[in-house]
Amino acid sequence: MRDPRYDILFEPVRLGPVTAKNRFYQVPHCSGMGWHRPRTLAAFRGMKAEGGWGVVCTEYCSVHPTSDDGGLPFASLWDDEDIAAHALMTDAVHEHGSLAGVELWHGGAVANLDSRLPAMGVRSRASRNGLMAPPVQTRRLEKADIRDILDLQARAARRAVQAGFDIVYVYATHGYLLSEFLNPEVNDRGDEYGGSVENRVRIVRELIDITREATRGKCAVATRLTVDRSIPESFEAFEILAELPDLWDLTIGDYDVEMGSSRFVGEGALVEDVARARGLTSKPVVAVGRFTSPDTMARVIRNGTQDLIGAARPSIADPFLPKKIEEGRVEDVRECIGCNICYAHDSLGVPIRCTQNPTTGEEWRRGWHPERIERERGLGRVLVIGGGPAGLEAARVLGERGAQVMLAEAKRELGGRVSRESRLPGLAEWRRVRDWRVAQLARLDNVEVFPESPMSAADVLEVEAEHVIVATGARWTTDAVGRHRDAPIEAASGARVLSVDHVLDGGEIPSGRVLIYDDDHYYLGPALALELRRRGLEVVLLTPAGRAGQWSAFTSEQESACAALIESDVEIVTNRVLEGVEAGRARSTCVFSGRESTIAADWVLPLTLRATNDGLYFELLAREEAGRLKSVLRVGDCEAPGLIASAVYSGHRVARGMRETGEAPADEVRRERALG
């Protein structure tokens, strides 16, 4: 039964000519699927509608080849084939009584890598296409181009109606073309589209009007716009347009806050800016804030901050979040941890994935449902060795499938690397990966958990399980072999080198000046540096990359991480490969010139490569008496060290595919082809 405190979240909301059945609104967000994978996209969005989201939007959707994002799998509404592709998605959403929305997109200073046409801009400016930006500039818009933009919006809006969308967006934020008109630092036009605020919002006003005319009252017209207290003029622009659309989708000017990692940004970070704008309009307002707590959601509705709960990442982590709240199962909500692995993989041009929800992107390809797992008779007794993210997920899935599961963990605390890493600065929310799975296991009568139970091969055979899953993880090496080295470093007499595991396990930390050699390039190097600074040590972070934590650019946290390091007085040394360690110093070479230099360091912490803890797995395979086991499988970091998301996925895939016969899990997937 639903908690009455949350009744307000399930009230219908009128959006112009259509009505959302509740206040849960999946805002437009990228998927890494786009026009390339229409069936994958339809199943992905349809799952959210099944899970109770009142509105489910697709991603940014190009209106014409003059606005392509060819390096990424974006959506498009260029022609009739696109209409058919989007209809798959709208049908899947409508099947569950939800509204479907589309965000029409004019790219602006985004290089047209596919069409090779010059990108259009308010003025000629450098490409802003992130890591893929070539050294090209936009073509300055002429009056005729502005007329074309209006026409392209109208054509795309009419196609949106044909495709079955209920909400059509005017997209005026996130640095794309319309943002250039609104930005006084960029817009230097001397005509009616430049100069005053009234002139600079003109094109947005005209696009709202033309979208309404094109959709002929069949769709709500939404506008996505920036309102930001640090940009007072943004509220002037908003007030001019306040009553024109049927719905406002509001954000702020700093994308690293809007899309902020939980390491640096908490829940509800936009509420003060959104609340100020909400007081200037009578139209409904939706905004994101990585809302995971129903108490926070209900509060921002009651206090008038916004009218709908916008979500991207929480809707990925748990597509059934609304339904679980409605059914009084709040404890079953799989909360987003804010790691931004979803965003990273879209940025890499592949379907998004999720650390918490391993079924993300697999709804069509593998036929996986996040809440329903096929049971199988005859699985019998399964021993899972290791209670880290892979082992916990494997045990959970096997328990749901009806197996008699024994989970043996060598340490007292479950969670493996998640438990250890979540104690580092900013990573506390990552404990949700462990906590949700531990809570789910506790509700399964057919799962037994045995902490402080290290297992030898003889122990495994004594248990008399029919299947064994080895999830014993990996350990950090100290020889500095990694991406930039294939041979160990030289360690002279008197050199002090510690392992990352020693620090994560709470081992004694030497005093003095520590050098972290980060050839991992993700979150752990900066997080360890901040932790050691917190303990009072002098820290140098040395990396072969051009910036600290370079891969975290894909998760939109690199700048925040580097800023935190600088503010904490961590010395950052880039573009250097560690070569050797001696007493009191380390030697490194420049990645470009090979020139060697030394840096003072009392001890060194290499963060480079993990060695798999697979000895037990191979011993079991080698022992003749193990022949009575139907299967011996390994998962997670024990098989291939990687992201926590990879470990969870590995545990899920193997456990979901296990068969009573012991045959290896099938890895066949349906291959997606674009329509046309």
Active site residues: 176
In whole angstroms, what is the distance from residue 244 CA to residue 552 CA?
Answer: 39
Token pair 């200037």 is found at 280
Using an 8 Å Cβ cutoff, are 381 and 465 in contact?
Answer: yes
In whole angstroms, what is the distance from residue 556 CA to residue 342 CA?
Answer: 11
The strand pairing partners of 101, in sequence order, are 57, 167
Which residues contact residue 251 at a Cβ distance below 8 angstroms, ignoring those fewer than 6 apart? Answer: 173, 174, 224, 225, 226, 227, 258, 270, 287, 288
H-state helical runs in 283-410? 294-302, 313-317, 321-326, 341-347, 389-400
SS3 category, 285? strand
- The token duo for 534 is 């917190």
Count helices and strands in the chain by DSSP H and E runs: 22, 28
Q: Residue 413 CB: number of other CB atoms within 10 A?
A: 12
Cα–Cα–Cα angle for 196, 197, 200, nearest 5°? 90
In whole angstroms, what is the distance from residue 546 CA to residue 588 CA?
Answer: 15
In whole angstroms, what is the distance from residue 676 CA to residue 674 CA?
Answer: 6
**What are the φ/ψ torsions at residue 310 (nearest 5 degrees)?**
-80, 145
In whole angstroms, what is the distance from residue 532 CA to residue 516 CA?
Answer: 10
SS3 category, 75? strand
Residue 345 DSSP one-character state: H
Tell me the HSE value of 227 on the side-chain side, using a 13 A CA sphere: 29
496-512 CB burial, b ≥16 within 10 A, e <16: bbbbbbebbeeeebeee
Which residue, 152, 153, 151, 149, is CA-closest to 121? Answer: 149
Q: How far is CA 279 from the centre of its chain?
A: 32
Q: Strands (DSSP E) along 174-288, which ranges?
A: 220-226, 247-251, 285-287
Q: Residue 325 CB: number of other CB atoms within 10 A?
A: 23
